[in-house]
Structure 1
Amino acid sequence: MARKFRVVINNKEYIVEVEEIGGSPIVQSVQPVVEKPQVVEKPQKVQTQDVKVEQPKEKPAPKIGGVEVKAPMSGLIVKVHVSEGQQVKRGQKLLVLEAMKMENDIISEHEGTVLRVLVKEGDNVETEQTLLVIG
C-alpha cells in the first residue's frame, strides 16, 4: 500500500510516495512541487509591561588563596568526605556527586589543607560551581 507525504527540504516542497515492503519504507518517486510564495503578515503592535526578573543569587567565589575544586557537572552532593582544616593528598576522595542516577567521586588533584567546604550533603550544584577550596 503506497502512501503520499508532503516533505519540505531547504524550503522546497516535495510530494513523496512511499510504499511499505517488509516493514521498512522505500521511496518510489519524488515530484518537486512549485514553490508557493510566502505571505508575510505585518506584525501587530502588542502592548507590553515591564517586568522585573530577579536573578538567583549565587554564592560568591571565595577570595582566599588556594585551588578551587569545581563541579564537573550539575547534580546532587551525596557524601562529603572531608572537612575544613583537614589535610588531603593527591588522589584522595573529597566528595560524591550524583548525576543522572550515577555516583561520581570527586578526587583531589592537589595536596594541601581544606580551607573551605562550600557544599553539604543534599545540595544541588551546577556545572563549574566551586565545591571546596584546597590551600
Structure 2
Amino acid sequence: MKLYKVKVNGKTYEVEVESITEVESTPEIKKEAPLNDGKIKVLAPIQGTVLKSNVKVGSEVQKGSVLLVLESMKLENDILAPVTGYVSQVFIAVGQKVELNQLMLIIG
C-alpha cells in the first residue's frame, strides 16, 4: 500500500492505494472464424449497434470492403470483409444491438 496526500478544494486528504501486481489479460477479439466447410463466420469485434449494413444474402464482397458499420461509444466502426466471397447468411439488422464475438454473418 502506498500513502498519498490529495488536496481537493483546499482540504487535504490522505489516501491509501493498493498496488496490483497481477494484470488481467484482454480477451482475444475474433473477427472471423473458419467453419469446417470453408465458410467464414464474421463475428462482432466490439459490442455496439448496427448503424448501417451494406450486404444481404447473396451479396458479393471483396476482401477489405465494408460489410457494415457498428456504432459504439459514439464512434462509427467499419466492419471489413476478411475474404472475397458471397454472403450466405445474415444474422443482424440495422438498429440491432450486438455483443462482443456475436455471429453477424457468414461468407462462403
Counterpart-to-counterpart distance in 1, 2:68 and 2:41:
14
TM-score, reference length from structure 2:
0.67
- Equivalent residue number for residue 24 of structure 2: none
Q: Which runs of 5+ in 1 are unaligned?
A: 1-8, 28-62
Counterpart-to-counterpart distance in 2, 1:93 and 1:106:
6
Counterpart-to-counterpart distance in 2, 1:64 and 1:83:
23
- Equivalent residue number for residue 109 of structure 1: 82
Change (3 A) 1:124 1:24: same
- Equivalent residue number for residue 3 of structure 1: none
- Equivalent residue number for residue 44 of structure 1: none
Larger Rg: 1
Counterpart-to-counterpart distance in 1, 2:72 and 2:104:
15
Change (3 A) 1:102 1:25: same
Structure 1 runs (4+) deviating above 3 angstroms are: 23-27
Query: Higher relative CO (CA 8 A, sep ≥ 6), structure 1 or 2?
Result: 2
Render the CA deviation track for 1:65-109: whole Å, top value 9, x for unaligned: 410011001100011101101111001100000000111000001
- Equivalent residue number for residue 67 of structure 1: 40
- Equivalent residue number for residue 58 of structure 2: 85
Number of equivalences: 83
Change (3 A) 1:64 1:114: farther
Change (3 A) 1:88 1:73: same
Identity %: 37
- Equivalent residue number for residue 130 of structure 1: 103
Q: Secondary structure at the match of 2:88?
A: strand
Counterpart-to-counterpart distance in 2, 1:130 and 1:89:
19
TM-score, reference length from structure 1:
0.54
Counterpart-to-counterpart distance in 2, 1:122 and 1:26:
47
- Aligned-residue CA RMSD in angstroms? 2.8
Q: Secondary structure at the match of 2:79?
A: strand
**Corresponding letter in the other structure for 1:80:** S
Change (3 A) 1:24 1:78: same
